[in-house]
Copies of this chain bind each other. A is one copy, B any other.
């Protein structure tokens, strides 16, 4: 469903949406990953990813379960299973600060240190890789001999729109 709607351009009513992303590109990344693992990209996985990509904002697993495809009401465990696959595929991230999940259309390199910037007003998430942050983390670790493996960086704040349009 909702395949090939043409180019996903910016649309006029951003306030109801999260950061617009290219759902087709995200989905094709998921498909590639599925192929590479020799597993199917099932309708279940497709639906969850499509919902997240269309929303563009973080949603809790239960929120996803309610809203997926307007049809069959999913159980939480089904959503978690789909999310597990999508996270492995790199199409979805988990926001620990909110226990929420969101679609990502970036292609993250292996050692990349990614910063999630979460708007406290509208919930939208922006991502940025920062080599400077990565260096800072390595420096912090070195002072104590800590061996860093998986950094998790989430910054709460206000996105440009919400900061410019307070309380709207």
Chain A contacts to B: CB under 8 angstroms: 96-97, 115, 117, 119-120, 126, 128, 130-137, 139-141, 143-160, 163-164
**Copies of this protein, total:** 2
Question: What B residues does A148 contact at CB under 8 A?
Answer: 117, 155-157
- Which residues of the other chain, B, contact A139 by a CB distance below 8 angstroms? 130, 132
Residues of chain B within 8 A of A132, CB atoms compared: 132-133, 135-136, 139
Residue of B nearest to A96 (CB): B96
CA distance A149 to B148 in the complex (A): 25
Our pick among B126, B147, B158, B163 for the contact of A158 (Cβ within 8 Å) is B147
> By DSSP majority rule, is chain A's interface helix, strand, loop, or mixed?
mixed
Contact A145/B130 with A96-B97, A152-B154 known, Cβ cut-off 8 Å: no
- Pick the contact of A115 from B115, B140, B157 — CB < 8 Å? B140
- Interchain CB contact under 8 A, B154 and A128: no
Q: In the complex, how many angstroms separate the beta carbon of A149 from the nearest chain B beta carbon? A: 4
Is the Cβ of A117 less than 8 Å from the Cβ of B135?
A: no
B130 near A117 (CB under 8 angstroms)? Answer: no
List 14 additional A-B contacts (Cβ < 8 Å) besides A126-B144, A128-B143, A144-B159.
A130-B136, A130-B139, A132-B136, A133-B140, A135-B136, A137-B153, A147-B160, A148-B156, A149-B157, A150-B155, A150-B157, A151-B153, A152-B154, A152-B155
Q: Are B137 and A133 in contact (CB under 8 A)?
A: yes
Q: Write out the residue numbers on chain B whose beta carbons fall within 8 Å of the beta carbon of A154.
A: 96, 151-152
Q: Give chain B residues whose Cβ lies under 8 Å from the Cβ of A141.
A: 117, 128, 155, 157
Cα distance A149–B62 in the bound complex, in angstroms: 28
